[in-house]
Chain A
Amino acid sequence: MASLELSHVYKVIGGRQTVLHDINLIAHHGELISVVGPSGCGKSTLLRSIAGLEEITSGDIFIGGRRVNDLQPQQRRIAMVFQNHALYPHMTVYQNLAFGLRARRVARSVVETRVRRTAVRLGLEALLGRYPRELSGGQRQRTALGRAMLRDPEVFLLDEPLSSLDVPLRSEMRRELMALHKSLGMTMVYVTHDQSEALSLGERVVVLSAGKVQQVDTPQEIYGNPLNRFVAAFVGWPPMNFLSSEILGTSAMDLQNVEYGVRPERLMLQQHAADDLSVSGRIECIESLGGVWQIEIIHNGARLIARVPPDAALRQDEELRLWFGRADLYAFHKTTGARVKVQR
Chain B
Amino acid sequence: MAVRTFLYGSLSILAILTLFPLLWVTSIAFMRSPEQSAGTPPLWPRHPTLHNIVNIIQREMLGHYFLNSLIVAVATTVLSTFVAGLAGYALAQVRFRGRRIISWIVLFAVLIPSQALVLPLFEMFREVHLINHYAALILPAAANPVSIVLIQAYMRGIPAEILDAARMDGAGEWQTFFYVVVPMMAPMLAALAVLTFVVSWNDFMWPMIAMQKASMQTLPVALASIDREHYQEIGLMAAGATVTILPMMAIFVASQRYYLRSVVAGSLAD
Contact = CB atoms under 8 A, between A and B. Distances in A.
A83 B161 contact: yes
B128 interface: no
Nearest to A134: B266
B161 A88 contact: no
Contacts of B171: 99-100, 103
Contacts of B164: 48, 51, 53, 73, 80, 82, 86
Nearest to B267: A89
B266 A103 contact: no
Nearest to A164: B269
B74 interface: no
A85 interface: yes
A131 interface: yes
Interface stretch (B5-13, B24-32, B78-86, B179-187): B179-187
Chain A contact residues (Cβ within 8 angstroms of B): what range?
Answer: 20 to 34
Given A74-B169, A151-B168, A86 B162 contact: yes
A87 interface: yes
Contacts of B169: 74, 99-100, 103, 147, 151
5 contacts: A84-B159, A87-B162, A89-B162, A89-B263, A104-B170
Nearest to B182: A90
Contacts of B161: 82-84, 86
B146 interface: no
Nearest to A105: B170
A137 interface: yes
Which residue, of B175, B266, B270, has the highest number of chain A Cβ atoms within 10 A? B266
Contact of A82 (B165, B170, B265): B165
B264 interface: yes
A78 interface: yes
Interface of A: 48, 51, 53, 72-74, 78-80, 82-91, 99-100, 103-104, 131-135, 137, 140, 147, 151, 163-164
A74 B165 CA distance: 10
Interface string B251-270: 00000000000011111111
B167 interface: yes
A40 B176 CA distance: 29
B243 interface: no
Contacts of A135: 266
B267 A74 contact: no
B166 interface: yes
A72 B180 CA distance: 19
Contact of A99 (B159, B179, B267): B179
A78 B266 contact: no
Nearest to B183: A90
Given A51-B168, A73-B167, A86 B270 contact: no
A74 B167 contact: yes
Contacts of A151: 168-170
Contact of A133 (B170, B179, B267): B267
A91 B263 CA distance: 10
A186 B186 CA distance: 38
Given A84-B268, A88-B180, A103-B172, 7 more contacts: A80-B164, A86-B164, A87-B162, A88-B162, A88-B165, A134-B266, A140-B266
Nearest to B270: A164
Nearest to B167: A73
Contacts of B168: 51, 53, 73-74, 78-80, 100, 151
A86 B160 CA distance: 9
B268 A86 contact: yes
Contacts of A85: 267-269
Contacts of B159: 84, 86
Contacts of A48: 164
A103 B269 contact: no
B74 to A, nearest CB: 25
Which residue, of B159, B161, B172, B183, has the highest number of chain A Cβ atoms within 10 A? B161
B267 A132 contact: yes
B265 A140 contact: no
B170 A103 contact: yes
Which residue, of A87, A135, A147, has the highest number of chain B Cβ atoms within 10 A? A87
A147 B169 CA distance: 9
A85 B172 CA distance: 21
B51 to A, nearest CB: 50
Nearest to A51: B168
Which residue, of B167, B172, B267, has the highest number of chain A Cβ atoms within 10 A? B267
